[in-house]
């Protein structure tokens, strides 16, 4: 059993420990630049992947720790070592003492997120009776699942209350109560537990079984912000950010909003209306262009010679329904393949091709083999998309194949 130093002091950053085991895993490939070693110590500050939370990062024996796992109470650290001559089976010898240091900003960020989740989940359980039935804390996202619905108004109220709790700087305490003490505690828990149970208590707000490091008091969470809300398995899933992660997100959003304000020449808090106006103008322009292109396509079809074989036309900005109707009209008057390519050289071309006397699937097979086109359909008509220039399409499909 590895001694969990992070249980004793979640704020410690450096430690020394005795090597119990060190072995190469897995064997390096010729293209690899590093060899991975699994290291087991008698004690560690590195929190493993557990309880829905990703593991700590940092350095061990001078090498980066890329993973930390726990099984049957034994914590295994995976380190990445540059490939050396000889590739030793063991980097460290059993009984040797080595030093480790966790990535503190990463650890503290996780602590902020996890404590914030406890506060919010405690409030949800108190006010609505729902349980937290899912939790995921990675380096980029934090999600929480509850087994009951929450309205937008519910979430806004809970978010506000959660931040009120944060500002009260309530102590966050973690302890292993005795069996007798545990029977008297009303605590949240997502699964059946065995062995010593660690309870994280946040005043009267929450008590929850948890194995992860937490901040000393709620004030260190900084701020709690709900980012997204969605229905999930009859309940609700929330995505959140706390502390420095929330601040970084605010900086990014503010920067983008400022740029949009500059582009639209509108005050920052009026950019939504400005963007909507631009969208409406764009849609109107597209509609006019589409109407013009449909008229032009009709002129192209009318200009086709009656004996034209396998006519293929090009247009841009015409809706699929109009193109399909045009192809149907072309097949009534012309033999071979009749097709329309809609698009441009930069974005590629969507197409519809039909025939009254040939199997269009033969042409589809040719286009998939020659140009990796995405297409399919029936013998009478196929449709799809091709990333090729107009000149290439005319040379290799219209001329050489049709």
Per-residue pLDDT of 148-179, as tens digits, reads 999 999 999 999 999 999 999 999 999 999 88
pLDDT at 297: 87
pLDDT at 401: 66
- Between helix 104-128 and helix 243-264 the angle, nearest 10°, is 90
**Structural domains of the chain, ranges and CATH numbers in brackets:** 3-102 (2.40.30.130), 108-251 (3.30.980.10), 284-399 (3.10.310.30)
Q: Peptide bond before 91: cis, by omega within 30 degrees of 0?
A: no
pLDDT at 281: 92
Q: How many CB atoms lie within 10 A of CB 164?
A: 12
pLDDT at 114: 96
- The DSSP secondary-structure symbol of 34 reads E
pLDDT at 195: 73
pLDDT at 396: 80
Q: Output the CA torsion sign for 307, 310, 316, 317.
A: positive
pLDDT at 194: 67
Return the bridge partners of 239, or none.
Answer: 143, 228
pLDDT at 116: 97
* Alpha-carbon gap, residue 340 to 314, rounded angstroms: 6
Question: Average pLDDT, whole number, for the chain?
Answer: 91
User: CA angle, 311 as apex, 358 and 373 as ends, to 5°?
Assistant: 70
pLDDT at 168: 97
pLDDT at 180: 87
* Alpha-carbon gap, residue 160 to 156, rounded angstroms: 6
For the CA atoms of 19, 21, 26, 31, the dihedral, rounded to the nearest 10 degrees, stands at 30
Residues of the chain with confidence (pLDDT) below 70: 26-32, 84-90, 190-194, 398-402
């Amino acid at each position: 059993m590895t001694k969990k130093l992070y249980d004793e002091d979640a704020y410690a950053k450096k430690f020394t420990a005795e090597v119990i085991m060190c072995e190469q895993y897995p064997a390096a490939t010729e293209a690899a630049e590093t060899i991975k070693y699994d290291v087991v110590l008698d004690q560690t500050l590195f929190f493993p992947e557990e309880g829905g939370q990703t593991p700590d990062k940092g350095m061990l024996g001078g090498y980066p720790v890329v993973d930390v796992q726990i099984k049957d109470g034994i914590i295994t650290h995976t380190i990445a070592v540059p490939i050396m001559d000889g590739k030793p089976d063991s980097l460290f010898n059993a009984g040797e003492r080595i030093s480790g240091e966790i990535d503190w900003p990463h650890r503290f960020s996780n602590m902020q997120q996890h404590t914030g989740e406890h506060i919010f989940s405690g409030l949800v359980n108190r006010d609505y009776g729902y349980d937290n039935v899912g939790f995921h804390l990675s380096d980029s996202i934090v999600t929480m699942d509850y087994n009951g619905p929450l309205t937008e108004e519910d979430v806004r109220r809970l978010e506000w209350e959660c931040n009120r709790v944060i500002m009260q700087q309530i102590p966050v305490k973690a302890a292993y109560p005795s069996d007798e003490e545990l029977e008297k505690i009303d605590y949240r828990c997502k699964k059946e537990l065995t062995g010593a149970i660690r309870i994280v208590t946040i005043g009267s707000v929450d008590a929850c079984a948890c194995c992860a490091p937490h901040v000393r008091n709620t004030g260190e969470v900084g701020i709690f912000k709900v980012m997204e809300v969605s229905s999930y398995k009859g309940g609700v899933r929330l995505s959140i950010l706390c502390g420095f992660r929330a601040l970084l997100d605010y900086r990014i959003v503010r920067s983008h909003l400022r740029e949009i304000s500059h582009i639209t020449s509108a005050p920052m808090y009026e950019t939504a209306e400005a963007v909507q106006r631009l969208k409406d103008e764009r849609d109107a322009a597209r509609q006019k262009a589409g109407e013009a292109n449909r008229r032009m396509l009709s002129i192209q079809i009318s200009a086709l010679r009656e004996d034209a074989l396998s006519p293929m036309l090009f247009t841009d900005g015409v809706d699929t329904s109009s193109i399909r109707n045009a192809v149907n009209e072309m097949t009534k008057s012309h033999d071979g393949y009749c097709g329309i390519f809609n698009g441009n050289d930069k974005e590629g071309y969507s197409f519809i091709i039909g025939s009254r006397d040939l199997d269009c699937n033969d042409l589809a097979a040719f286009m998939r083999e020659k140009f990796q086109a995405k297409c399919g359909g029936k013998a009478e008509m196929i449709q799809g998309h091709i990333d090729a220039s107009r000149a290439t399409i005319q040379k290799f499909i219209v001329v050489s194949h049709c």
